Amino acid sequence: MSPSRESRTKPTVHDDFVRMLVLETDEQHPDDHEERGSFGDVFDTLFKNAGDQHDPPLGIETVNRFVVEDKKGGSVPKVEEMED
């Protein structure tokens, strides 16, 4: 599995936070990836900005997981297969 496809967590510094799971099912165009990062990175930035503007501030912890490894459609993991 390439580093860009590993499950990864982007923690927050806030005491109050929401954990968000992003199941990445594809890779975007390389130019977009270079400019904005992965789909998970885009969601992380969007929701962290919204959480920072919330009163009181609300942290967002994003867990990104690439779930489709093959060109045959792949599958979404079962809840039991997901880590905390």
Is pTM beyond 0.75 here? Answer: no
Q: Bridge partners of 66?
A: 24
Q: How confident is the model at residue 50 (pLDDT cuts 50, 70, 90)?
A: very high
| pLDDT for 53 beyond 90 | yes
Give per-residue burial for 23-32: e unless 16+ CB within 10 Å, then b: ebeeeeeeee
**Cα 36 from chain centroid?**
13
Residues 68/26, Cβ–Cβ less than 8 Å: yes
pLDDT of the residue at 83: 65
Side-chain-facing half-sphere of 48: CA atoms under 13 Å: 14
